[in-house]
Structure 1
Amino acid sequence: MTVATDLSAKMGLEAVSVRDIAATAQISLSAINYHFGSKTGLLEHLVREHLEAIDALREPLLVALEQSGRPDLRATLKVIFVPTLTWMFGSEEDQIRSQFFSRALVTPIPEIQRLIDENIRHLDRIVYLIEACDLGHDRAEIYWRLHFTMGIEHLSFFDLGRHRHLARGLLQPFGKEDLLERMVDYAEAGWRRT
């Protein structure tokens, strides 16, 4: 599983082959096929595990905010960003998981996209929290702005290194909390705009 995650993160879910995984893990090709049926079955298993892990990071944040009585926008935005940043700034294994998951989010493999689409329960809860912030947006506008907010998360998740390169040395090193505050500041400005 570790090898499959690592190779998929480096090569892309479409490009990695079961042969690559089996050779690197030093196991037989038939063992992978026996347990997962196919490369897609293996990738689906990995994506499910990653979705569950992200949900486990997000759930206590959602529950705390839901129980707070009246959520504020910044806290709600942090619920969106914190799980991603936890992996990005975590252990080497977490960073590989981050790369794998970012690739899974954009893969054209239909079975993987279906899994990701099915795992959006938290988004409805976030929409209700944003509605409770009373920003004056109708539900359709909330979904649009949530889409763009998730774009901030996904691009940071997928390719933060390119951002550093494009800035040509202007950016000072930053940590998880610094990046979180910048992401929230930017997203909050978009949410508050009428």
Structure 2
Amino acid sequence: MDSTPPIPTKQRILAAAEELFAQHGFDGASLRQVTASAGVNLAAVNYHFGSKSQLIEEIFRHRLDDINGRRLLALHKIAGKPETVLEDVIAAYVRPAVELSGEGEGSVFMRVMARAYAEHDDTLRRFLSENYGHVMRQFVAEFGRLLPELGKEDLYWRIDLMTGALTHAMSGFGMIQRKSDIPERQHREKIVEQLLRFTASGLRHP
């Protein structure tokens, strides 16, 4: 007899929706597909989330609360200190996302994040700005402290490009794939190393 406890309905819906949105995008995956994959009816989605837009937001909240919590914890340990260098701040930003991508379903979410960049959903963008904009502002302040020669507009441009590079690297859509003989942890460390070099050069450029 299987003693494994059943997965709560809400979690089944979130997992099914995350996988389908990663594969087909937000417009390409319907609620009907989500309910079929999760083994629930539409009433369950409406009960737990209310709408497709709210379901999408809950997926992002579920993952980004964790990622950004880790980011801010790392940033607060180094912010304002005279010995802090640019690479330390970049690592505080990119490493939590890279680590999440190696934790089971985290890699699926990074593909969802890549979809969010590709699909211009104003409602989702507003949700992300309202709920996680404070995280970006804290990183901008520390980057600005270390790069006083850059104006705020240039800083935002470059951090946005850094975020795009991070999301692309984590999504699995790019050319670089983990080789079968390379352990997952080693591959993630290589990603962090390459992102640190690439983004530090871009941020420091006059």
Question: CA, structure 1 residues 134+114, in 2 after alignment: closer, same or farther (shift >3 Å)?
Answer: closer
User: Structure 1 residues 33, 179: CA separation in 2 closer, same or farther (over 3 Å shift)?
Assistant: same
Shift of 1:101: 2.8
1:189 aligns with 2:201: yes
1:62 corresponds to 2:86: no
Query: Corresponding residue for 2:29?
Result: 16
Paired residues of 1:71 and 1:132 also in contact (CA < 8 A): no
- TM-score w.r.t. length of structure 2: 0.80
- Give the letter for the 2:137 counterpart: D
- Cα gap change, 1:22/1:61 in structure 2, threshold over 3 Å: closer, same or farther? same
Q: CA deviation at 1:135?
A: 5.0
Which stretches in structure 2 are left out of the alignment for 5+ residues? 1-13
Asked if 2 retains the 8 angstrom alpha-carbon contact of 1:47 and 1:112, the reply is no
Does 1:109 find its partner at 2:118?
A: no
**1:32–1:176 Cα change, 3 Å:** same
- Aligned-partner Cα distance in 2 for 1:38–1:179: 36
The aligned counterpart of 2:107 is: 95
Tell me which of 10, 31, 42 is aligned to 1:29: 42
Q: CA RMSD in A?
A: 2.3
Equivalent position to 1:81, from 90, 94, 100:
94
Q: After superposition, where does 1:129-144 map in structure 2 within 5 Å?
A: 129-144=142-157
CA distance in 2, matches of 1:107, 1:24: 23
Deviations 1:58-114 (A, max 9, x none): 1211111226445210111112211221122x1322212222233234333332121
**SS at structure 1 position matched to 2:89:** helix
Of 54-63 and 66-75, the range deviating more from structure 2: 66-75
The Cα of 1:32 is off from its aligned counterpart by 0.9
Compared CA separation, residues 2 and 35, structure 1 to 2 (3 A): same
CA distance in 2, matches of 1:138, 1:132: 11
What's the CA shift for 1:148? 2.4
Partner of 1:48: 61
Letter in 2 for 1:163: M
Q: How many percent of aligned residue pairs carry the same amino acid?
A: 22
Equivalent residues of 2:158, 2:203 under 8 A apart: yes
Distance 1:149 1:61, change over 3 A: same
Deviation at 1:25, TM superposition (A): 1.2
Change (3 A) 1:74 1:13: same
Q: Which of 158, 161, 168 is the equivalent residue of 1:145?
A: 158
Q: Distance in 1 between matches of 2:98 and 2:171?
A: 11
**Corresponding residue for residue 140 of structure 2:** 127
TM-score normalised over the length of structure 1: 0.84
Read off the aligned partner of 1:181 and give its amino acid letter: E
